[in-house]
Homo-oligomer: A and B are copies of this chain.
């Protein structure tokens, strides 16, 4: 069991999505646990988004019960105040404060619709390593988004995303229907991740794509994702009229296509729970809130099917087994990623 779900599975030297931008306010601190660390998240009245450890360095009371003030947050147990970099800014009745009284500070970036936090040593944080999601600020794309709290180890949720084999079994009535067709998957190892491409050439469009694309005939469809260690998936999917050369991108065209970009960001809460943030951008019906909701609901329905299975799997793994896990041929992408993670953790 410890081999399957090591507590130390988690890579700390990484940026993780920990919240939506609108969850951070100057009115009320937000408590959230990430990689086992309790964080307090807030904005100063001046607008700076901040992540600190959710502990007062005096007596360890949670700062998330504190009061946001200009330039920092004040613990409401004994009134010690901390600046946005975690340094003590004020101790009541103790002029001069306390030079060593600091709380841990987590570098934070707000980018493309997500709040990212660096969980490693603060000095190692490099914001340029955060992945880009240019669709978020592009008026030709419209997002749906959602959050799931999964009661399972992040590694099992990642496995689920990295794997096509479960589609016909977990999702027989939704996304799995099309996947039953026997098209091959190209798996390409990356330096820190994996690229997986699945193409369906000259096929009838899926029910949803047809309903929004009104294709006159067959389509070329694609489902291509890139996994970014430790735990972000970016997905490019869609359908174009067949023959337009969708597959030969970048040389082909996607004229008349319905297209989607999707980012799924997994963040371990601890070894038994995972935060799952996703945004799904589309290139059609941009001004239609009904479509935004419909896309949201479609995705959440499919995720609910995954979640039930992954949580049951997690409980089973935690309880142990007389036999170990054994890989099958369909596991190539997840096996690659697991090996990369092991290497990074080691």
Contact of A321 among B55, B79, B170 (CB under 8 A): B55
Provide the bound-state CA to CA distance between A54 and B313, in Å: 11
Interface hit among A94-102, A190-198, A271-279: A94-102
Residues of B within 8 A of A327 (CB): 58
Q: Is the CB of A38 within 8 A of B319?
A: yes
* CA distance in complex: A104, B12 (Å): 37
Is A177 part of the binding interface, using a Cβ–Cβ cutoff of 8 Å?
no
Q: Which among B77, B315, B317 is the interface contact of A166 at CB below 8 angstroms?
A: B77
Closest to A103 in B: B323
Contacts A4-B60, A102-B323 known; 20 new A-B pairs at CB < 8 A: A37-B322, A38-B316, A38-B319, A53-B322, A55-B316, A57-B326, A60-B325, A61-B313, A61-B316, A75-B169, A77-B169, A78-B328, A78-B330, A79-B165, A92-B168, A93-B165, A93-B182, A93-B329, A98-B326, A98-B328
User: How many protomers of this protein does the assembly include?
Assistant: 3
27 contacts between A and B (CB under 8 A): A4-B60, A38-B316, A53-B322, A53-B323, A57-B323, A57-B325, A58-B325, A58-B326, A58-B328, A59-B313, A60-B313, A60-B321, A61-B316, A62-B313, A75-B169, A76-B309, A77-B169, A77-B309, A78-B165, A78-B328, A79-B165, A91-B328, A92-B165, A93-B182, A100-B326, A101-B326, A101-B328
Residue A163 at the chain B interface, CB threshold 8 Å = yes
- Would you call B326 and A62 a contact (CB within 8 A)? no
A307 CB → nearest B CB, Å: 12
* Pair A330/B77 contact, Cβ less than 8 Å: no
Q: Are B61 and A312 in contact (CB under 8 A)?
A: yes
Shortest A22–chain B CB gap in Å is 25
Q: Are A169 and B93 in contact (CB under 8 A)?
A: no
Known: A80-B328, A330-B78. A104 touches B62 (CB 8 A): no
**Chain A interface residues toward B at CB < 8 A:** 4, 37-38, 53-55, 57-62, 65, 75-80, 91-94, 98, 100-104, 159, 163, 165-166, 168-170, 182, 309, 312-313, 315-317, 319, 321-323, 325-330
Other-chain contact of A323, B65, B76, B104 (Cβ < 8 Å) = B104
Chain B residue nearest to A38 (CB atoms) is: B319
Chain B residues whose CB sits within 8 angstroms of the CB of A315 once the complex forms: 62
Instruction: Please name the residue on chain B nearest to A165 by beta carbon.
Output: B78
User: Is there an interface contact between B309 and A61, defined as CB atoms closer than 8 Å?
Assistant: yes
